[in-house]
Structure formats: C-alpha cells, structure tokens
Structure 1
Amino acid sequence: MASSAPHGSSGALPPEPGGSGRAAGQEEKEKGEAAPARLKEAAGASLASLCLGPPGGRLLECLLLNYRLRLGLARGRAAAAAEGSGAAEGPLRCCGCRRFLGEPVTVPCGHTYCRRCLRRELRARCRRCRARLVPGAPARPSVVLSQLAEKWFPAECERARAGSRLEELLAQGRFREALGAAGQALRADSSNLMLRIYRAESYAGLQEYKTAIEDLNFVISKMPSWPEVYFRKGKVLHDSGFVGDALQLFLQCLALDEDFLPAKLEVERTLCDVLSPEKLGESLKESAWNSPHIRNKPFILGSEVAESQCNLQLCPEQSLGGSEVLEPVSGSLNRAQSAHALNSPKDLAKEDVLKRVSSEPLLSGQEKGALLKRKLSFSEQDTVVSEDGRNKHKKQGESTKRDTTLAYGTIPGNLIDVSDFECSLCMRLFFEPVTTPCGHTFCKGCLERCLDHAPQCPLCKESLKEYLASRRYCITELLEELIMKYLSDELYERKRIHAEETAEHSNLTKNVPMFVCTMAYPTVPCPLHVFEPRYRLMIRRSMETGTKQFGMCISDSQNGFADYGCMLQIRNVHFLPDGRSVVDTVGGKRFRVLRRGMKDGYCTADIEYLEDVKVVDEKELKKLRELHNFVYNQACNWFQNLRNKFRTQILQHFGPMPDREENIQAMPNGPAWCWWLLAVLPVDPRYQLSVLSMMSLKDRLIKIQHILTYFSRDQSK
C-alpha cells in the first residue's frame, strides 16, 4: 500500500554552470606558456614541504604537463584515445588496453574492459567517460558478452585464458614456471604481444633485466602508443636501480594515459625518494630553491637527464645475456655525475650501447613527431626480438611484417543470432541493456520492475542492495553498439513497439494510471510515500513518459475506486536506498471516471475533466461575490481561532492559506483557498468527495459555509 507522507520542502537541483567561452586549444596553449613557471613554483613548494610528508599532486601535474609539451602531446586522454598501430580491430575490444576483450567486465558507468585491466588495478578512471572506478571492486565477467566472445572468437578467448594462467603464476612469484609457460605459448603464438609482456615480467622476477628490456622494446616497436608497456619497462629499470630513467618512462606512460593509476603511484614514490631531505641535504629545510642541489640546475624534467642519457649502461667486459644484473651507472636522477665523466669517450661508447638496449624515450626537437607517427626507433638500426627474447638486427629499409594483427574483425552471418541478444525476463530483444555487478544483463525497464519487488538479481539471486541504492542503471554501451550494428532491423522494430507502449502510457484521457489512496484537491500539495511495487512502476512510467501526472482517487468498496478524483502533478521524486520513494505532488484538474481498467497491477481509467460553470448574469455574479467574500472571512476567523498546535501542523503540511482572488471565475476550478480549506477541514472523505464533484462555485461555497458554521459552534463551546 502507498500512503500519504508528511510534507517537506524539496529544493530544485542547482542549474549546471555555463561552459567557458574559450576553446580547449587556447586553454591548453595558455597552460603550456605558463608551464615552466608553474613547474618551478610547484617544485619549490613540494621540496619545501618534503620535511612534512610526501610530495603533493601539483608537482606531478606540472611535471606531466611539461613532459607532454616536450613530446608534442596536447593532452594525455587525447593521445590515449588515438588508435595505435597494433590495436585490436574487432567488435569486442577493451576500452582500456584496446585489445581483445578477454573476460569482459562491464563497470558501473556502462563501459566494458577486459578483466585483466581491472584486476591489476591499471585504471583510476574510465577511459571513455572519466567516471571514477572503485579500486578492488569485484570484477564479474558479463555473461552475455562472454558467451558472444566464446561463440565468435574461441581462439582469442583461449589466448586470454592463457594470459590469466600466467598472471596467477607471476602473482605467486613462480617466475621460472611463468617463463617456461610464456616461452612455450610464444612458440605456438608468436604474434601475442601480451605473452611477451608476461615473459618480460618473468625475466624481471628472475633479475634478468636486460632480456626483459629487449622483450619490452619489441612490444614498444609494435605498439608505441600502449601506455602499459612503458610502465612495465619503467618497473624493470626501477628494480635494476635506474630510478631517474624509470621516472621518465612512468611519465611517458602518463603522457599517453593520465589515469594510469600504478604509474601515478610510482611517480609519487620516485619523487619522494629522489627529492627527500636525506638526498638533498639538511639545507632544504632552510630554503628549497637556495639549495645547491637545485639552484644551479634547470628543473624541467629532461634538461638535466638529457646531459646523461645512460639508462642501462653496461661495462664492456660484461655479457648482455643470462642472469647477470645490469650495473647502474651514476648519472641518473638518483646519482651525481661529473662533467668529465659525461664527456669521456668511454662513457659515450657506453651511451651508444644503451640506445640499442633501452629505447631511450626522451626525444630531441627533431624527433618530437616520432611518437605522433606511432613509430619509435631504437637506433640507426631497428631491433627484432626473437621468440627466446634475444635481439637481432636487420638492415635499414628492410620491412618487418607486423604480427599484431588479430585474427578477428568480421563475424560470419551464420553466427549472428537474435536469441543471443534477448532479455531473459521479457524474452524480447534487449532495449537499453543494463549489466548488474554480478554480470547478468537485462532490459533497463525489466530490471527496474524486478528491483521493485526484491533487491536481488532475478537470475542468480545475489543481493543488489548497493546497486539499487546508487540507482546508476547505465546502459551497456558495447552491447547496444553490437545490436545496432548486427541487428538493426530487429532493433528498429523493438524501438517501434516501445514507442507505442510509451504513447499509450502518455495518454491523459485513456487508460490514465490511478493511485487509489487519499483525497487530493486542485492547487493543494499532496506528498506521497510510495513503497508498493505496482505504484513504483506507475510513478516511474509517469516520469519516463514526461507527463509526470497520474490520477488520485479514494477507494470504493463496490467499484474499487471513487467516481471522481483529481490529477496530481509530480514536482519531485526522492528515491530512498531500498527503492521506496517520497513523491512531492500538487493537485491539478478534477475528473470524472468513465471506464475502469487494470495495467500491470495498478488501476487505470478513461476520464473526462471537470470545470466550473461560469455565471454570466451580472446580478447573479454580484450575489456570488458577496457570498464568496462572506465565506472567505468566515474561513479566516475559523483558522485564526484554532489552537496554536493545530494551526502549526496545518501550516507545516499544507502551507499558508491562499489569498482572496479578485476574479473568482478566472480559474476552471474556482478560487484556490476553497480547496485549501476543504483539505484542512476534518470532514468525512465522502462529504469532501461530494464537494469535489460540484461544478457550481455557488453550491461549493454554500457547502463550505455549512461546514464552517458547524465547527464555529464547537469552537465557541
């Protein structure tokens, strides 16, 4: 049952602020012009505050902005959104890594990622809509999309499962087993770049950093716009002791994707380590920019590092293979290096070896366009990494066939089946498909109707209380795109049927929804507490159709509800976490019921609207005004003579009594104060109903006069 709720004011939502008139490009340009000054300001403040804690986010923001400007990238998101060479070109593609959607998981905003991207917490925000992703949230694969992936691309699904098994081995620290499994898988499928990343992580776990770098360089050569590979390479450099060079790679990752969460954390840790007071000296506490560590060096990232481009230098007598650990060379941000050592021929020779090993990401002014062209050269010669991780060289001009083209792109027509896209509740084609946290997909309307009855998944019965409380029923965009692409005719028919149903619900004279509860009057507020499933559905339909109206009648033992009622206009709906709602409504037109019906559990009716019959004769109109003024004054006296307790309750629930109107026949329902008074008077609903049905203002005033006379006698006693 639904009942009337205590009246409470509900403020309207504030309007959205107007957009700025400046273009995005102009804003980015202004940021770029001010970047060095901001960087110096942020670095100084961060250095001065290191005595109190780790560096703040402003320093990272300014470092990243400078790094993007040096590489010619306007914004990290724009670069990340660009399609890199080697990205998957198929109907099932991850929003994060842009590769095949292995174990697809739909996040609350409606976008879909492979489970690996979410399980490893590679993302802080959704790449498509910028919605914040909850770290550590359960990642349940979408049942519908998983079934489509298995049906359409079984080989790709097997590749994804192989990657999951390797991840488990790496997570357990079983690097030797992971290395063997990755090598075996690569021999069977050399085009799988993810296997090379897993093998590189295995090498890094076994402290074979040089071989790990070779694998990662190969992946970079194929997919230079993939943020994760720069992060993995930075981790290897960091673990091998090259903190400064690792920092640059983390920034390279963030330049491509500024929401890559692990890279942000690594940059913050690295800055905290490199710029800590212990490293910079006690003089930092007195003045950050007067410190000899900072005063004599330009601080823009890359300017000091460019003096020593020795990421992974090797002693000439060392072997580059096996399990030998690369020896860190002073010259990175974590060590001081003299000018003599920088200019020595021996170090320059080492630096030349370095270029072939680490694929130094810093670019000179002539090389800034390389990244935008999606090509990253290692040195004068390109490096080709064989299946065992060892590098070979090929001559200039020799082309290498890309092995990153996935074996999927188009789907045979015989694999497209409309039954794969049907809602399990209505057994029709998905319309506005929504995926729950447990991985099941339903039409949005079907799911809402089920949640009206119980906060559980209709299929697996898992609790959806938090999902219901958030009320974020976002459309699963990938599934909707697949339906539009492969089942356009069926979707057109589904939309046509939905439009017809919506039009039926929008009719305000035929099959009008009826709320059978209490008396309602024109212009008088009527707050409602809605908790019955049938009325939840009715209110939601009234909102979705845009009419925001429904009829209100009192119950009748013979006919179900009374012959007369009042339309209610919804002003606001406040949803409670458990699905109930408080609906703020106000009375509108009066109506008479012509025919009764039923729709999805709630009552409906064909109705006709009522209006007062206007008085035309001047003498009759004069008498009507005199009667109106007399009854109005009588009503004011009765209200003022009420006890303070009762008067306060009436004002809180119904508001103040409306003022007297000059033109008493201007409104089709007559003066508003009459309805306000009828609502507050403690009269039997049947008597009130008889007054509501009157189409003569004179008869209504006489009825009210009789009621006031009766209650005035009680007040005098």
Structure 2
Amino acid sequence: MDLLLCPSCQQILWDPVTVRCGHSFCRKCLHGPPPSRCLLCKQRLHIRGPQDLKCNTLLCDLLDKCLDRETKLDRITRDLQDLISQKEYEEAGKLASKGIGLAPEDIILRTLRSQVFVALKQYPEALRDAELICILQPQNPEGHYRKGTVLMHMKEQKEALFHLHQCLLLDSQFFAARREMGQLLEDLGCSVPSTTEDLMEETFRYLKISSMDTTRLVIPMEATYTMSQSDSACTKLHPTTAEERASFMNQPSEVPVKTSSSSNQEHPPDKEEHAVGIGDHKLEEEKLMCCHDSRSSLRDLISPSDVECSLCIRMFLDPVTTPCGHTFCKECLERSMDHRPYCPLCKQSLREYLRLGHYPVTALLQEIMSFIFPLEMTERNQVHQSEIAELSNLVQNVPIFVCTMAFPGIPCPLHVFEPRYRLMMRRCLETGTKSFGMCLYESGKSFADYGCMLEILNLDYLPDGRSLVETVGRRRFRVIKRGQIDGYHSAEVEYLADKVLEGEELQETEQLHDIVYQQLEECFSQSQGSLPSRIFMQHSQPPLKEDNIQASPDGPSWCWWLLSILPLDPTYQLLIMSLTSLKERLLHLKHILSMFLLNQS
C-alpha cells in the first residue's frame, strides 16, 4: 500500500487530486493555502482555488476498490476531525455523509455529523443522528449528550435536561454534560449544586415537579458504574469515540526481532559469512514473495478493464489527467482536442489546458499499472512501437500534405490548423522522422503524381492549437500508390535522382549550366524598372554557383531557388521538378530567362 500514500501527509490517498505536473495528492493536503510548488518535482502549481482541485475520478475508483472498509472509515474519521477543528463545517458535512453512506451504523461518524449539523444550525438533522445513536447504543452517554445539546438549541429545555441527566447517569465523569446541565438549571431559575450527585438530585426534583416521565430516570448509580466499566473494557477492543479510535489506530505494533546472540547460536563462527549470504538470499526471496502476493491481491481487486482509456478502449498509454479530473491516453486527448477543446466526457472547456501545450503523464496511475499489470503494459508498449515503426516508414507510408509546390533545399513555412494535419505533424515528431511529403492538389487523384519531402526544422504551437511550422525541402519523389491514415493522405513513393552524366555529355551540361547561370546574373544587372528587375526585386543577389553540378541527386540548388521564385504556373513547375535530366531542366530555365531578357516591354 506504500504505492497509494500521499506524498504530503504520508497517509493513504483520499480524494486524490492530480496537479499540473502529473503528481497526485490528497485534496485536503492541497486545500487552504495551497503550496506554491510540487513537493516532488518542485514545479510551480498555480492553484487559484477550489475550482482547480477537481478529484481524479479514475484514481478515486481504483482506491475505492483497493482499500478495505476499515481503512476508508479511519481516513474519513481523521479528516473529519481535522475539518471540524478548522471549522470547515460545509466540507465536514459532505465528508461525514459520505462516510455514513459507507457505514450507516458507525457511531463515531454519527456523533461527528451531529456536531457538524449543530455548527451549521441544522438542528432537525443533528437530532436525527443523536436519536439514532441512542437507539443503536442505549448505554452510550455520548448519544444522550448530543441529543441534549441539540434540544437546548431547539429551546426544548426540559427534554434537553432529561437527556443530559441520562448522560451523567451513564458516566458521572462526563464534565461537558455536567456543565450544560448546570447552565440549563440556572436558566430555569433553579439552584446549581457544586457536586455531581446533588446536581443530579436537583435535576431529578425539577423534572418530577415538571411532570416529566421520571420512570426512565430511576437507574441505580452502582449499576451505572458497573456498566460503564464493562463498556470501557469493551471500548479497548471496539473503540466507539473518535479519540479512542485514533489512539487505537496509532498503537505501535511489536514485531519480534532476532538478536545477534541468537543468530550466532544458529550459525557457527566459521560459517558466519556463508550464513549471512543465506540470510540475504532468504530476505530477498521473502521480498519477492511479498511483492508477488501484493500484486496478486491487487489483481483480484483491479482488472485491466479498470485502466482502459474511454476513447481508444485500450489500456492507458501515457495517461494524462485533465483539470476536470478525467484521464485519457495522451495521444487520444490530443486528437480529441484537435477537433474541439472540450473534455470528451464532461464537455468542460479545456482551452486553458490547450493553451499551456504541456500534458504531463499521471505518475501514480503509471506506477499502479506497471506494478499490477507489468506483462500487459509491456504488450501495450510493443503494440505502440510497432505502430510507430509502421508510421515511420518513409517509403510505403509517407504522410502527404496537399497544399503547394515545394522544392529541394528551399524553405517552406506552413500554417497548420486542420485537425488531420495537426495529427500528422505530431506523428512526424513522435516517430522521429520529422518528415512528410508536399504535393499539389490534382483533380481526380487527390494529389499530384510528384512531390517533395519536407523536413520539420521548428514547430511552434499557438494557444488555440494551431501551429506555425518551419520546413525545408529535401528529396523529390514519385507517387506509386495512394492511401489514407486517420483522415490524412499517405502514399507509397519512389525517390527521384538525376541521371549520372559522364564524358562528353557531362561537359555539354556543364557548359549549359554556366550559360544559364550567366543569364541569371544578367537579370540581376538589368536597369531598374525592367521586367527582370521587377521579378527579382525582392532579392539582392542570386545564390552562389556550385562547382560540382552532380554533388546532389537533385542537381544544383540555385536551379530550385530560381524555379521557386519565378511567376510560373504550378503545373509547369511540377513538370520541371519531375525531370530527372539536369540538361532538360536547364534548357527549360534557359528558355524562361531568355524570354525575360528579350521582352523588356
């Protein structure tokens, strides 16, 4: 059960609240002046008030199944006493009702709730609890005292006096009842004797004169004391008051420990080292057996279906708890918030949670699953890894962004807002490839037959879930087969590379390369106002010419830069990009630049 202890109070978790960093504490430990930082990871908590202390519903359910009835009652009683001492009667009333729902005949909880109802001035409710105590335990002085104090507040003085008299008959040392009885007699204009016996005689005389049913008061004092002693003996075994239960729970247990002398007698000195080794081995075996027994007992209480995500209906993977107290797989929650920033279960707004963009794993739930279901967790992770491996195959499962033209080595900034592409970007980062394909839209095919791979350099999430993505073009590809993955397009592709040139053909291509680059430099040297200068006015100089035109499988990078800035029809750009002959690509660029230089009008 050490796994279920609160890091703050070191008691069994009760009404667990999972804070922003993913650690869980008792709600009571975070109530009042909340800590500014987490006690475990020291992160800032930013708890604004009770609205930020929603209980983790899943952990509450698991604790309810793991904890036995007595443990729950002890924790409720302890917390209830703390709330009463802090005069937080509203919270105390809710907690007491919760405990009584668990144990309707628990005298301690009935007594404490009656006290809470009196503080809240809910006297009829307080009287019902006190009457039930008197019915369940007629010889318990606490019930008569509670009933007497409630009747005092209800101005039923004679009836209150009667029950306080009964309380002192059952326990002559009940000083609170003696004090209240003296106050009542004084209010009624009677004398207040100094001794308990005289006080009870005066009360009996007043009730007899007031025509009360005094037959109930005729109980010999000797019998009362005998009964009280027997009750106190029984109390040691079955505590009936909160104080006695608390002291009973805190009694230290005595565990016999072997002394060193007995150890020496069992093992001769010459075999001491061997004996220690055997002892360590046995201790290790006992620890393993204890761990196995704990896991088995918890498995009897918790089943794998208790730790399933309500969105994917599989065992939690990286469980995340929302501010409203509901838990989902991290990936499932992100996909849900891609469409609507609301909790999938209670529909509470998660815009603030989305704005933070940080979803830490619920540490306690992860530890519970790893301890109880190690094999199932391993299997769940293996399935996830196989899914990631399939998604990271950049030949058969290339994610396709259908938008615009992209070219090798050329930056391509993107604004992502569609849910399907938000999912695609996250997966590109999760798989580690950081790459996806960019294709033009083409009617009848969904996207064109050729495209360019883009590599993600940086991704900035905006508060509303949109993102700004910095990418740069890498390799060209040809689409072989089209498909879809979770709403976005995918493709099986074949990567393109320019044909390798040799000998005379290489020399001719190098000469053509120099001619076209010279044309590009002429465009930059044209007078201001000419057509070339207006086209290239956003750029001061062209990129540098490369010495080796076959250094890259996609050819010289300046060619792609030129193609990206020229005011050409995208289908014509696509045609040039699909060419695997550098010579043909240079001829197209030469023709375009020649037209610009000749036509100055």
- The interval holding the TM-score normalised by the smaller chain is 0.5 to 0.7
Residue identity in the other structure for 2:322 = T
Please give the per-residue CA displacement for 1:514-536, whole angstroms capped at 9, x wherever unaligned: 00100000000000000000000
1:314-463 map, 5 Å = 401-402=252-253, 411-463=297-349
What's the offset of the Cα at 1:657? Answer: 3.6
Counterpart residue number, 1:146? 60
Matched, 1:686 2:537: no
Aligned to 1:475: 361
The match for 1:668 among 531, 553, 572 is 553
Aligned-partner SS, 1:597:
strand
Alpha-carbon distance in 1 for matches of 2:309, 2:89: 43
Deviation of residue 611 (structure 1)? 0.6
| Matched residue, 1:492 | 378
1:578–1:649 CA distance, 2 compared to 1 (3 A): farther
Tell me by how many angstroms 1:168 deviates: 4.9
Task: Work out whether 1:585 is the aligned partner of 2:471.
Answer: yes
**Aligned mate of 1:571, from 457, 465, 485:** 457
Counterpart of 1:216 in structure 2 is none
Matched, 1:131 2:43: yes
Structure 1 counterpart of 2:500: 614
Counterpart secondary structure, 1:565 = strand
Matched residue type, 1:401? P
Following superposition, the deviation at residue 623 of structure 1 comes to 2.1
Deviation at 1:630, TM superposition (A): 1.3
State the 1:95 CA deviation.
Answer: 2.0
1:621 Cα shift?
Answer: 2.1
Change in Cα spacing, 1:609 to 1:388, as seen in structure 2 (3 Å) is: closer
1:612 touches 1:696 (CA, 8 Å); kept in 2?
yes
TM-score, length basis structure 1: 0.54
In the other structure, the counterpart of 2:9 is: 97
CA contact (8 A) 1:625 1:664 kept: yes
Q: 1:634 deviation in Å?
A: 1.2
1:627-670 per-residue CA deviation (whole Å, 9 max, x = no partner) reads 1111112112324547688656467xxxx642100111111111
What letter corresponds to residue 10 of structure 2 in structure 1?
R
1:98 CA displacement: 1.8
Q: Which residue of 2 aligns with 1:509?
A: 395
Map 1:87-236; keep pairs closer than 5 Å: 89-137=1-49, 138-153=52-67, 155=69, 156-163=71-78, 165-166=80-81, 168-172=83-87
Give the distance between the partners of 1:665 and 1:441, measured in 2 at CA: 55
Preserved contact between residue 400 and residue 438 of structure 2 (Cα < 8 Å): yes
Matched, 1:526 2:440: no
User: What residue is the counterpart of 2:586 in the other structure?
Assistant: 701
Which letter does structure 2 place at the counterpart of 1:116?
K
3-state SS, counterpart of residue 309 of structure 2: coil
State the SS of the aligned residue for 2:2: coil
Verify: 1:633 aligned to 2:518, yes or no.
yes
- 1:705 partner letter: K
Task: Provide the C-alpha distance between the structure 2 equivalents of 1:548 and 1:189, rounded to a whole number of angstroms.
Answer: 64
Q: What secondary structure, in the 3-state scheme, does the structure 2 residue paired with 1:524 have?
A: coil
Q: Distance in 2 between matches of 1:494 and 1:151?
A: 23
2 CA distance for matches of 1:638 and 1:699? Answer: 21
- Look up the match of 1:600: 486
Residue 614 of structure 1: CA displacement? Answer: 1.7
The separation in 2 between residues aligned to 1:164 and 1:98, in whole angstroms, is 13
In the aligned structure 1, how far is the partner of 2:319 from the partner of 2:242? 45
SS in 2 for 1:560: coil
- Measure the CA separation in 1 of the matches of 2:77 and 2:434: 53
**Could you say what secondary structure the match of 1:604 adopts?**
strand
Residues 517, 545 of structure 2: 8 Å contact kept: yes
Deviation at 1:472, TM superposition (A): 1.2
Q: Distance in 1 between matches of 2:426 and 2:460?
A: 12
Structure 1 CA distance for aligned equivalents of residues 333 and 378 of structure 2? 22
Shift of 1:592: 0.5
Contact 2:77 2:242 (C-alpha < 8 Å) held by counterparts: no
| 2:408 alignment partner, SS class | coil
- Write out per-residue CA displacement over residues 61-92 of structure 1, whole angstroms, 9 at most, x where no aligned residue: xxxxxxxxxxxxxxxxxxxxxxxxxxxx4332
Listed one character per residue, the Cα deviations across residues 287-338 of structure 1 (whole Å, up to 9, x for unaligned) are: xxxxxxxxxxxxxxxxxxxxxxxxxxxxxxxxxx99xxxxxxxxxxxxxxxx
Tell me, what secondary structure is at the counterpart of 1:91? helix
- Which consecutive residues of structure 1, in runs of 5 or more, have no partner in the other structure? 1-88, 203-320, 323-385, 391-398
Going from structure 1 to structure 2, the CA distance change for 1:115 and 1:502 (only over 3 Å counts) comes to: same
The CA distance in 1 between the partners of 2:311 and 2:59, in whole Å, is 17
Residues 386-406 of structure 1 show CA distances to partners (whole Å, capped at 9, x for unaligned) of 97979xxxxxxxx96359xxx
TM superposition shift of 1:413: 3.4
Task: Report if aligned partners of 2:34, 2:47 keep a CA contact under 8 Å in 1.
Answer: no
Q: Deviations over 1:29-79 (max 9, x none)?
A: xxxxxxxxxxxxxxxxxxxxxxxxxxxxxxxxxxxxxxxxxxxxxxxxxxx
CA distance in 2, matches of 1:139, 1:400: 33
Choose between structure 1 and 2 for higher RCO, CA contacts under 8 A separated by at least 6 residues: 1
Matched, 1:543 2:429: yes
Q: Secondary structure at the match of 1:556?
A: coil
- Whole-angstrom distance in 2 between the partners of 1:669 and 1:475: 43
- Return the offset for 1:500: 0.8
Aligned CA RMSD, in angstroms, stands at 3.5
Q: CA deviation at 1:446?
A: 0.5
Distance 1:661 1:388, change over 3 A: closer
Structure 1 partner of 2:146: none
The alignment-based identity, stated in percent, is 46
Q: 1:431 to 1:389 in 2, by over 3 A?
A: closer
Distance 1:476 1:702, change over 3 A: same
**Aligned 8 A contact 2:57 2:325 in 1:** yes
TM-score w.r.t. the length of structure 2 is 0.64
Preserved CA contact (<8 Å) 1:527 1:583: yes
> C-alpha deviations, 1:482-529, integer Å up to 9, x for none?
111111121111111101100001101001100010000000000000
> Following TM superposition, by how much is the alpha carbon of 1:679 offset from its aligned partner in structure 2, in angstroms?
0.2
Give distance in 2, aligned partners of 1:188 and 1:103: 21
Q: Counterpart of 1:519 in 2: which secondary structure?
A: coil
1:486 to 1:610, Cα distance in 2 relative to 1, 3 A:
same
Residue 624 of structure 1: CA displacement? 1.5
Partner of 2:219: none
Secondary structure of 2:383's counterpart equals: helix
Is the 8 Å Cα contact of residues 432 and 475 (structure 1) preserved in structure 2? yes
Q: Deviations over 1:406-439 (max 9, x none)?
A: xx97744321211100000000000110100000
Q: Point out where structure 2 has 5 or more consecutive residues left out of the alignment.
A: 120-174, 177-239, 245-249, 255-292
Q: Measure how far apart 1:170 and its partner are.
A: 4.4
Larger Rg: 2
Instruction: Give, in whole Å, the separation in 1 of the partners of 2:243 and 2:342.
Output: 50
State the shift of 1:165 in Å. 4.5
- The 8 Å contact of residues 103 and 160 in structure 1, kept in 2 or not, is answered as no
C-alpha deviation, 1:132, in angstroms: 1.1
Contact 1:526 1:587 survives alignment (8 Å): yes
CA distance in 1, matches of 2:68, 2:553: 68
